[in-house]
Amino acid sequence: MPKMSHKCFISFKKENQQYRDKIDALFSISEIINKGLDQVINSDDGEYIMKRIRQDYLLDSTVTVFLIGVHSSEDEGYDYEGRPRNYFIEHELQASLYNGDGNTRNGILGVVLPEMYDQIYKGTYRCLECGKKHNTVIINDSTVIREFGKNYYIEPHSGCAWSSDERYCVLVKWDDFVSDPEKYVNMAFEKRTSSVADKVKIRNLRR
């Protein structure tokens, strides 16, 4: 089992528990925060909510690993109480990106699970603007939580494609991640001190 350099928080849907369990075999118990947000924090103070989530759930973590499965998108809709079905993941990512007093934001690593490969990775195309080949990667409300999408394809943006230096969130396929988890966790960690960190976007909190 490789020794990880950074403590990780895992954000995932219960439908993807099998992948969460497999991650336990990749990390030592001391390298994973083994709990997730499981209750609504009733407050109208967004900063207070973020501080509570960081203190009670994300404490000491520096990288959040977001498992991107079939039920991990913004478009999952709402529950019977009128809250987004992915309310907890949304707030976990918001708190991970939050940069407030007494904490610094986490790096964000999105791990695309195998059943989502075909929905996200659509091959390459030749750009009419620059003449080079670019990858078609579908990261939007239909595939991920908005906090991830908006910080993967950061706007405003000029040019025909985003380079890795222009993205705060890091994206990797599950198979590549499990072959070398430390590599990708380190990539996400290093984003915290990169210039693109100044462009991170977090929407207003929803209770």
| Full-model pTM | 0.90
Alpha helix (H) residue ranges in 69-128: 87-97, 117-120
Specify the pLDDT at position 1: 46
Specify the pLDDT at position 54: 67
Domain locations along the chain: 8-199
Of 98, 9, 115, the C-alpha closest to 51 is 98
Signed CA dihedral, 108, 109, 115, 119: sign only: positive
Q: 96-102 — which CB contacts under 8 Å span 24+ positions?
A: 96/9, 96/11, 96/58, 96/61, 96/64, 97/147, 97/151, 97/200, 97/202, 98/50, 98/54, 98/202, 99/200, 100/47, 100/50, 100/51, 100/54, 102/51
Digit-by-digit pLDDT tens for the chain (207 residues) are: 455 568 888 899 989 999 998 988 887 644 665 555 455 555 555 566 666 666 666 778 899 999 999 999 999 988 887 878 888 889 889 989 988 776 789 999 999 999 999 999 999 999 988 988 999 999 999 999 999 999 999 999 888 899 999 999 999 999 999 999 999 999 999 999 999 999 999 887 554
